[in-house]
Amino acid sequence: MKTLVIGANGKIGRIFCERAAAQGLAVRAMLRDPAQRSFFESLGVETVLGDLEGEFGHGFEDCSRVVFTAGSGGHTGGDKTLLVDLYGAIRAIEESEERRLDHFVMVSAMRADHPLDGPPAIRHYLVAKQLADERLRTSSVPYTILRPGRLGDEPGSGRVRTDPAAGHGMEISRENVALCILASLGQPGSRGHSIDLLGGDQPIGELFASLEAR
């Protein structure tokens, strides 16, 4: 059971690939630049070249699951947000439908369901995430949508919360998000769920083990 990681060279994608490789999981990292291959090859992770703004369907060959953690990045304009975060995600979902994949894990964003509640500077990004998430929910592909709060680079604690009111702060480490991706892939009960993620006290394994498939 091989997992295609779209956005593998991003911070969350790299951590996920490291953790997945350490657990002996079959992972394929989709990359835009051949120069990025060395890091993943050092982990024993298979790579494939593909571009969300171009061709990438070949990357799905022999894969049964997808992790989508790609993003255009805060340094780009709204045009890239449309092409990558929205249209790239939709194309990946449609490819997954055609190939009848078993599971699609989307890394989205907290507040994606209510873009106008977010800071003005990122509302276009939240709109893109909302529309991509909705396309995934209405697709034929079993899905999990993870919606982290503000991302940080501190080490993962292995603990989270899903209710903003149940603790302080609106942050979560990227490593904890990567651990949640791993947990969602390992728990069939995560399918059909959209899950807000913040730093907290609940063990990640306990959270995902408590979910029931919808």
Give the residue numbers annotated as catalytic, written as ranges.
125
Question: 160: burial class by Cβ within 10 Å (0-12, 13-18, 19+)?
Answer: buried
**And the tokens for 13?**
């994608």
Which backbone phi and psi does 188 adopt, to 5 degrees? -55, -25
Our CA angle for 183, 159, 178, nearest 5°, is 45
Closest to 145 (Cα-Cα) out of 201, 191, 203: 191
Q: Which two tokens stand for residue 51?
A: 């571009």
Q: Is 123 left (phi over 0), alpha (psi -120 to 50) or beta?
A: alpha
